[in-house]
Amino acid sequence: MNNATYSSLLELAAGLVILCAFVTLWRRSLSAIVRALCVQGVALGLVALVLGLHRRDAVLITVGCLVIAAKGAVIPTLLRRVLANDSLNRETSPLVNVPASLVGAGALTFLAYGATRPVVALVPTSAGRLIPLGLATLLIGFFSMVIRRKAASQIVGLLLVDNGIALVAFLATAGVPLLVELGASLDVLLVVVVLRVLAVQLWSKFAVLDLDQLQELHD
Amino acid sequence: MLTILLLAVPLATGLVAATQSWRRWVGWLCTASLGGVLVLGIVLATRVLHGRAVSAFAGILRADALSAFMVIVIGAIGLLATTQSVRYLDAEITSGRGTARHATLYAVLVQGFITTMLLAVLAGNVGVMWVAVEATTIITTFLVGHRKTRGALEASWKYVIICSVGIALAFLGTVLVYLAALHAGHGTHVSLQWTSLMSISHHLDPGVMRLALGLLVLGYGTKVGLAPMHSWLPDAHSQAPAPVSALMSGVLLTVAFYALLRFKAICDGALGTAFPRALFVTVGLLSLIIAASLLLSQHDYKRMLAYHSVEHMGLIALGAAAGTPLAIAAVLLHILGHGLAKAVLFLASGEILLVEGSTEIDQVRALLARRPALGGIFAFGLVALLGLPPFSLFVSELNMLRAEVQVGLGWAAAISLICMAVIFGAVMSHGRHMLFGARADGEPVARTHSIVTVPLISGLVGCAALGVLAWPLESLLRAAAMVVVR
């Protein structure tokens, strides 16, 4: 792979990650949001694959394949099971409407470029220039956790945060050591499983779907 | 060898508990396992006291004096909490709320919880430590929701969402530390080992490290219960079964703080002490102020205890901000003293809930007259927690304040004293409602089971003994403080 193809492939994959983050804010149907998340997982795995092929790093290539399997297949399947319980399957009343939330996400992307300046300065490669996209994905994840009310939407927000961090890790350091990487991925997978179990219990025992209904505990 | 054994004891106990159907002896086996952890922790402490760390698995596990101290904290408070697990499970089963399967799940999860906390303090690698801290969140979620009430499930949901976000930020911080290390190492072998990060800390890029420390304080601070990310804490600690609340409040918070202490030492090298100090002072004071304002209007005694944890985490953050050897030794003593006192109080509150049937402060009256043993334990626990002598929290708070004044943080010490005074007043007035008053005519004096009184009184005696006689721990505290002071 020559240098020009390498950097354009990398840009394409990283661009796809942030694009999917915007799509999750734009669409209100939860199954479309999960599809976007699935594409984002695959794009994230491609980032690792491209980096791995470029650096001839077998570990990174393996990690890329694992990421595609976990985030492109396993996690979306788990999420679809949560949605199966949900008769409405739509984010009906987000706190901020769609056009305003897209503008907000644009502003967060600018913020990400500002905040990562010291990091980008330290990594003057074509991969390093893309680091702000990772932070922007993370911030959009936070934003969607704040403005959305369905239990499933909060899980999506958490996964966006995680994908953003993984993107930063791949671009900045070509991935943390393998042991840590595997542990971290396993933890994320388990968190999704735990949240799924809790969502099912809340739904089947107390018919709770909207987080606004969680009002038992307060001061 | 010792470090592997430490992890193997609770892990093996968990496996035994998983394969057996629930019997009381399984519960006592779990208690014995924690006793084993405490003894091994003390052996480990004598081994590493003179500066020689032990390690295993090519440095993935590593124990120095600070790790050994944290193992002792986990062992002591875990021992106290597991003695009450049997009583909690008995009550759940006899009342028909839980089944034997529930009890087995509980026992296995508690042993898993202990194992992950031990792994967090014994990890020689910051990445492995992160994985362990995140694993504690996953395991404790089901312990928080163990009673399966609506409130318990709501608390678990908030707990896992907020803590996962927090810990994700800590992961980003860890990635940035790794990035800085890659560039400081100039192509030589770079790892995420504590020791190698400490040795190159002066060469780490300050811009990146500043960003990393901010993320780490916010991230691990979520698990510590420091403001502004504390909001899961009162819900989770008030809804969890009492022994789990004792473990979470007494040790889990400080295990996360242990991570911050280590990272602060690295950042002190990379950035100088001014920036880390400002950050710790800010979160510490914010936590104290929030705890003080929310404690005034509490009507639930378990939530009152939970906010009290936010206060104490704020105090140790201020102590860590001062950062002198005296301050860090006091912080560590405070971690142990607060853990013991808070565990005793949460366990006593579990017993109060069991016999009185309510967590409302208004519903509990005249405990000292009606149940003298239980009321006495609760009263002395509050006295300990409010930092009155002879308990060790008095000594450690005094030393932290002294250290803060020495390094020019007198103004922060003054604000923290004001907050402590407000909290003192609030807790005294809540405690007075619960403890004092006369017995109704003809109501007999109720006795409290010795399975409750003996462990809890020993916990209080231990906390007082630490305050009066520092000698058994003094050299360990000093050695542990020197690990994170340069």
Could you report the per-residue pLDDT of B226-261, keeping only the tens digit for each? 988 888 999 999 899 999 999 999 999 999 999 999
Note the Cα B31 to chain centre separation in Å.
Answer: 19
Per residue in B286-303, pLDDT (tens digit) is 999 999 998 888 889 999
Inform me whether the pLDDT recorded for B338 exceeds 80.
yes
What percentage of chain B has pLDDT greater than the value 90? 61
Report yes or no: A58 and A35 within 8 Å, Cβ to Cβ. Answer: no
The answer to whether position A218 is within a domain reads no
The residues, ordered by sequence, that sit 6+ positions from A31 with a Cβ below 8 Å of its Cβ are: A80, A83, A89
The residues, ordered by sequence, that sit 6+ positions from A139 with a Cβ below 8 Å of its Cβ are: A108, A109, A111, A112, A164
The answer to whether position A80 is within a domain reads yes
Closest alpha carbon within chain B to A193: B138
**Cβ pair B160:A195 closer than 8 A:** yes
Q: What is the pLDDT of residue B416?
A: 94
Q: Which of B62-76, B188-202, B347-361, B462-476 has the highest mean pLDDT?
A: B62-76
Note the Cα A137 to chain centre separation in Å.
Answer: 7
**Cβ pair B160:A191 closer than 8 A:** yes
Report ipTM for this prediction: 0.92
The answer to whether position A97 is within a domain reads yes
Tell me the mean pLDDT in the region A40-56.
91
Question: In whole angstroms, what is the distance from residue A49 CA to residue A72 CA?
Answer: 14
Work out how many domains chain A is built from and give that number. Answer: 1
Q: How many CB atoms lie within 10 A of CB B148?
A: 13
Q: What is the pLDDT of residue B275?
A: 93
The answer to whether position A191 is within a domain reads yes
The answer to whether position A141 is within a domain reads yes
Q: What is the pLDDT of residue A86?
A: 60
The residues, ordered by sequence, that sit 6+ positions from B202 with a Cβ below 8 Å of its Cβ are: B269, B270
Sorting pLDDT into bands at 50, 70 and 90, what band is A145? confident
Tell me the mean pLDDT in the region B306-326.
93
Per residue in B415-473, pLDDT (tens digit) is 999 999 999 999 999 888 888 888 877 788 888 888 888 999 999 999 999 888 876 78
Q: What is the pLDDT of residue A92?
A: 62
Per residue in B154-205, pLDDT (tens digit) is 899 889 999 999 999 999 999 999 989 888 875 556 678 888 888 888 989 9
Q: Return the DSSP state at B440.
A: P
**Cβ pair B161:A195 closer than 8 A:** yes
Residue B51 gets the label, from left (phi > 0), alpha (psi -120 to 50) or beta, of left
**Cβ pair B175:A165 closer than 8 A:** yes
Look at residue B252 and give its three-state secondary structure.
helix
Chains A and B form CB pairs within 8 A to the count of 134
Which residue in the set B153, B208, B211 is minimally distant from A198, CB to CB? B153
Sorting pLDDT into bands at 50, 70 and 90, what band is A90? low
Q: In which residue are the tokens 């305050």 written?
A: B467
Inform me whether the pLDDT recorded for B74 exceeds 60.
yes
The answer to whether position A168 is within a domain reads yes
Q: What is the pLDDT of residue A91?
A: 65
The answer to whether position A147 is within a domain reads yes
Residues 203-222 in B contacting A (C-alpha not used; CB under 8 Å): 205, 207-208, 210-211
| pTM metric for this prediction | 0.93
Tell me the mean pLDDT in the region A34-43.
93
Q: What is the pLDDT of residue B412?
A: 94
Inform me whether the pLDDT recorded for A88 exceeds 60.
no
Q: What is the pLDDT of residue A94?
A: 73
Residues 159-218 in A contacting B (C-alpha not used; CB under 8 Å): 161-162, 165, 168-169, 172-173, 176-177, 179-180, 183-184, 186-187, 190-191, 194-195, 198-199, 201-202, 205-206, 208, 211, 214, 216-217
* List of chain A residues whose C-beta atoms are within 8 Å of the C-beta of residue B175: 165, 168-169, 172-173, 176
Report yes or no: B393 and B387 within 8 Å, Cβ to Cβ. Answer: yes
User: In terms of residue numbers, what domain contains A8?
Assistant: 3-213
Which residue in the set A161, A173, A202 is minimally distant from B153, CB to CB? A202
